C-alpha cells in the first residue's frame, strides 16, 4: 500500500482546483455542451490527462459547477463580514450578486446552468440549493 504524503495531497488538490477552474472557463466560453478537448485546451493538458483525474467528463463538469456556485456564495457571505448597518448589508448583498462586467465568468456560468437545469436534474438540484442558500442569506439581513 502506497502512503500519500501531505505534499502529494496538496499537489493533487491543486491539480483538482486547476481542472475545476479550467472546466469553468471552458463552460463559460462554450456552454454546458462543452467537449473534453475544450476543457483540455483551457487546462493546458491532454484529454487523456484529464481523464486520468476525471474518467467521466460529466463528473468534472458537475464538480466544476458545484465549486463555482460555492465560491459565488461564500464570496457574497464574506463581503458582509464586519458590516452592521442593515441598509449597507442589503446593498452589499445585492451588488455582490450582480455581474461585475460583460465577461463575468461566474455569472455566465450560472446563466448557462439555468438554461440547462430544465434538462439536467443534477444542475437543477445544484441551482435550487444555491437559490435556497441565497434566500437564507437575505433572510439574515
- pLDDT by residue (tens digit) across 46-76? 999 999 999 999 999 999 999 999 999 999 9
Please give the tally of structural domains in the chain.
1
∠ CA(78), CA(81), CA(85), 5° rounding?
A: 130
- The answer as to whether 106 is a domain residue is yes
Residue 137, CA distances (Å) to 12, 75, 88, 115 in order: 32, 12, 14, 24
How far is residue 98's CA from residue 12's CA, in Å, rounded to a whole number? Answer: 33
- pLDDT by residue (tens digit) across 77-128? 999 999 999 999 999 999 999 988 888 888 888 888 888 999 999 999 999 9
Residue spans of beta strands (DSSP E) within the chain: none
Residue 33 · residue 61 · CB < 8 Å: no
Domain extent, residue 50, equals: 6-139
Please state the pTM of the whole predicted model: 0.83
CATH assignment at residue 50: 1.10.357.10
- The answer as to whether 121 is a domain residue is yes
Amino acid at each position: 500500500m502506497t502512503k500519500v504524503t501531505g505534499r502529494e495531497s496538496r499537489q493533487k488538490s491543486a491539480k483538482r482546483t486547476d481542472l475545476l477552474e479550467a472546466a469553468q472557463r471552458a463552460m463559460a466560453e462554450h456552454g454546458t455542451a462543452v467537449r473534453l478537448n475544450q476543457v483540455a485546451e483551457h487546462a493546458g493538458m491532454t484529454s487523456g490527462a484529464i481523464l486520468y483525474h476525471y474518467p467521466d467528463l460529466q463528473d468534472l463538469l458537475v464538480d466544476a459547477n458545484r465549486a463555482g456556485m460555492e465560491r459565488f456564495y461564500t464570496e457574497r457571505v464574506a463581503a458582509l463580514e464586519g458590516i452592521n448597518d442593515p441598509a449597507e448589508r442589503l446593498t452589499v448583498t445585492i451588488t455582490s450578486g450582480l455581474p461585475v462586467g460583460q465577461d463575468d465568468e461566474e455569472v455566465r456560468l450560472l446563466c448557462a446552468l439555468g438554461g440547462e437545469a430544465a434538462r439536467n436534474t443534477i444542475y437543477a438540484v445544484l441551482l435550487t440549493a444555491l437559490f435556497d442558500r441565497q434566500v437564507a442569506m437575505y433572510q439574515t439581513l
